[in-house]
Amino acid sequence: MEHLKQAFTKHRIVLVVAGLFLVIAASLLLLRNSYYAAQTTITQTTSFEVAPGSSLSRIATDLETRGLVNNSELLRLVARLTGVAGSIRAGEYEFEPGASAADILNTLVSGETVQHRVTFVEGWTFDQALSALVSLDTVTHTLAGVPDEELARLLQLEVADPEGMIHPDTYFFDRGTSDIDILRRARNRQQEVLEDAWANKLGALPYQSSYEALVMASIIEKESGVSSERGHIAGVFVRRLEQNMRLQSDPTVIYGLGDEYDGDLTRSHLETTTAYNTYRINGLPPTPIALPGTDSIQASLNPLPSDYLYFVATGDGGHKFSTTLEEHNAAVNQFQRGGQQD
């Protein structure tokens, strides 16, 4: 009898243990299914930001509050069991409807943050580039009221004016990136482009430094409406420098006028002496007048050979190039005066 009682007790223990195992297994399976099943209650793409220094508990709670997961405890548990709790990266993320807790945790650990963008356009001024940054609420703004000289120092420039010193391009960044960090990237890119072009320049040119080549490139940028003409425009200006002729570039005059320019360039403007009026000064202006792109920088250091000394806009984005003043005056009469004489 005692033997049967012991056997019954052992059998009951086995059943209890087996039952516990089944319960545990079922619970784990349920948790697993829950972890990999869609959990979000969102109905559209939703942004979620992980602030620097956020704890796992705070992140999981915020995810549940935003309807991105329905069980923050499960997310915390898996993150700790898998050892990725400390690998979640700060930044802004986007999640789609139907994402699972597994999807969300993997994304947070991968650091695949939302990338915002800003584009600095070829031919813009530095002030226009700054305005593009100011208009973005995804950027941390630190430069309000900072004068150009201080900006030049922050960008570690060897000159006091930042004009032309950042590269026109599209730059991607995480939400919260500072404006100065974006400008530094653009500055480094411009330096790389300029140094490479300077190292591979075409023979002897009338520049004392790569900075003067950048100044020339900015003028080419503003003068050229057709990419294929940049080499010829560069050639005209280089030959003028070599022959001690004034550049006589309208965009330099306009830049020197600043806010006084209202869209109508007059004879009076051309006769007004400023540091940038190349109808009145010899040589190059003191700084670039715009952000030159790679093609204009390359053109400034690789001008096309010809006898051209003049050009005039033809009204369709292109130019008519001439070798003599007589030819040039005829072209001006044809394209800008409609064939009318003064």
What are the sequence ranges of the domains in the chain?
A: 37-114, 116-194, 204-335
Is it true that domain 37-114 has CATH number 3.30.1490.480? yes
Count other Cβ atoms within 10 Å, centred on residue 217.
29
Average pLDDT over residues 216-225: 95
According to the model, what pLDDT value does residue 40 have? 65
Residue 24 confidence (pLDDT) above 50:
no
Which contiguous run of DSSP H or E holds residue 311? strand 310-313
According to the model, what pLDDT value does residue 255 have? 97
Residue 41 confidence (pLDDT) above 80:
no
Residue 173 confidence (pLDDT) above 60:
yes
Q: Which residue has the tokens 């075409």?
A: 202
Average pLDDT over residues 229-251: 97
> pLDDT higher for 76 or 284?
284
Question: What is the distance between the alpha carbons of residues 300 and 238, in angstroms, rounded to a whole number?
Answer: 8
pTM: 0.82
According to the model, what pLDDT value does residue 6 have? 58
According to the model, what pLDDT value does residue 31 have? 45
Residue 273 confidence (pLDDT) above 60:
yes
Average pLDDT over residues 87-108: 88
According to the model, what pLDDT value does residue 225 have? 81
Q: What is the mean pLDDT of the chain?
A: 88
According to the model, what pLDDT value does residue 202 have? 82
Helix axes 126-134, 179-199, angle to 10 degrees: 150
Average pLDDT over residues 188-194: 98
According to the model, what pLDDT value does residue 137 have? 95
Residue 19 confidence (pLDDT) above 70:
no
**Which range (28-32, 88-92, 301-305) has the least confidence?**
28-32
Helix/strand/coil percentages in the chain, nearest 5: 50, 10, 40
Here the tokens at position 164 are 């032309």
CA dist list (Å): 231 to 13, 93, 104, 294, 305: 92, 45, 52, 12, 9
